[in-house]
Amino acid sequence: MIEVKNLTKVYGRNVAVDNISFVVGDGEIVGFLGPNGAGKTTTMNIMTGYISATKGDVDINGYNILKEPEKAKKQIGYLPDTPPLYGDMRVCEYLNFVCDIKGVSKDKRKDMLNEIYNIVKIKDVEKRVIKNLSKGYRQRVGLAQALVGFPDVLILDEPTVGLDPKQIIEMREVIKELGQRHTVILSSHILSEVNAVCDKIIIINNGKIAVKLNTKDFENMSSDLFNIRFKANKPADEILRIFEKFKPVYNGEEEKGTFDFLLYKEEKKDCREEIFNISAENNLPVLMFKPVIFSLEDLFLKVINEDYSENDIITTNGKEEV
């Protein structure tokens, strides 16, 4: 389990992390999101003991990262946004070097490394020089070093950065598999990946936690909160009048004579039948009519633009547990 309590990091006058707290339970995969400069990497670096906090505590499986660094760090495997690789080493040489650093006994290495090769699918390149590998394989080798010693906690900072779509899908499957036996904190800007892989999500902005939520709760609620994208070929001002109760927002004229709108509803209910009936009563030819689901991307943009309230899809915030 990971417990972050009142964590703060200050650089001069700049508050990079501002009194944040959260708990990650055993076996959970948690997405840690935020815009560039929000404090994600700083928080991860403090959690791994790479840098110290100005104040606050981080406990990894009950060990304080500052007071008991050796015991705490044994619980952690860390993949930074730039994998810590030695390009002139072969993959097998490098991972044996990591075993030396982590104190893995030699009688256990062969079986452990073979298992890691199979998990991250790098068995076919174990004899190759790292600098000659593709970006995708180097990222996998970076993940492999985080797995050495099979720590309980994995902290992965942008594990899919620079990968092509096929490699991203493969890495997603690897992370899902790892979540069956490790606690994982995953930072990524690819929100669809976070939504597909993570059990819970934390969004940080300006050094503070803005949102904490369960992925399933978000999916259940967002399915009830869709709005309608509506296209018709009557004048825009007439459409505005007809659908005034839905607070229509003009979305442009994609083709001559047609007008595109977003229709919003206050209550959490399906209003498609009502919109259809209004269109029929007003002899309004409808060219397109489809729900627009509130997505994780929408929530993320609301958070970083500070354009959200308690009425949005936000289940918890502040210092409550995820």
Query: Per-residue pLDDT tens for 175-228?
Result: 888 888 899 999 988 787 888 889 999 999 999 998 888 887 766 655 555 577
Split into its structural domains, the chain has a count of: 3
Residue 54 sits in the same domain as residue 115: no
Residue 157 sits in the same domain as residue 288: no
Question: How high is the pLDDT of residue 79?
Answer: 93
Residue 9 sits in the same domain as residue 70: yes
For residues 220-243, one letter each, b for 16 or more C-beta atoms within 10 angstroms of the residue's C-beta and e for the rest, the string is: ebbeeebbbebbbebebeebeebb
Question: How high is the pLDDT of residue 219?
Answer: 64
Q: Is residue 320 part of a domain?
A: no
Question: How high is the pLDDT of residue 22?
Answer: 94
* CA geometry: angle 173, 77, 90, nearest 5 deg: 80
Q: What is the CATH number of the domain that holds 270?
A: 3.30.70.980
Angstrom distance (rounded) from CA 188 to CA 139: 14
Question: How high is the pLDDT of residue 269?
Answer: 67
Q: Is residue 319 part of a domain?
A: no
Residue 273 sits in the same domain as residue 130: no
* Intervals of the chain under pLDDT 50: 310-321
Residue 69 sits in the same domain as residue 157: yes
Angstrom distance (rounded) from CA 266 to CA 268: 7
Question: How high is the pLDDT of residue 266?
Answer: 59
Residue 69 sits in the same domain as residue 118: no
Residue 21 lies in domain: 2-75+151-215
Helix, coil or strand: residue 76: strand
Provide the Cα torsion 289, 293, 294, 297; round to 10°.
Answer: -110
Q: Give me the residues paired with residue 129 across strands.
A: 90
Q: What is the pLDDT of residues 121-160, one digit of tens each?
A: 999 999 999 999 998 899 999 999 999 999 999 999 988 8
Residue 101 sits in the same domain as residue 198: no
Sign, CA torsion 207/208/209/211 = negative
Residue 278 sits in the same domain as residue 180: no
Please state whether beta strands 29-33 and 200-205 pair in parallel, antiparallel, or not at all (unpaired): parallel
Question: How high is the pLDDT of residue 211?
Answer: 85
Orientation of helix 165-178 relative to helix 135-147, angle to 10°: 10
Of 31, 28, 32, 52, give the one whose Cα is nearest residue 41. 32
CA distances from 271 to 220, 263, 265, 266, 278 (A): 18, 10, 8, 10, 11
Orientation of helix 91-102 relative to helix 106-120, angle to 10°: 130
DSSP per-residue codes, 103-116 = T--HHHHHHHHHHH
Question: How high is the pLDDT of residue 49?
Answer: 92
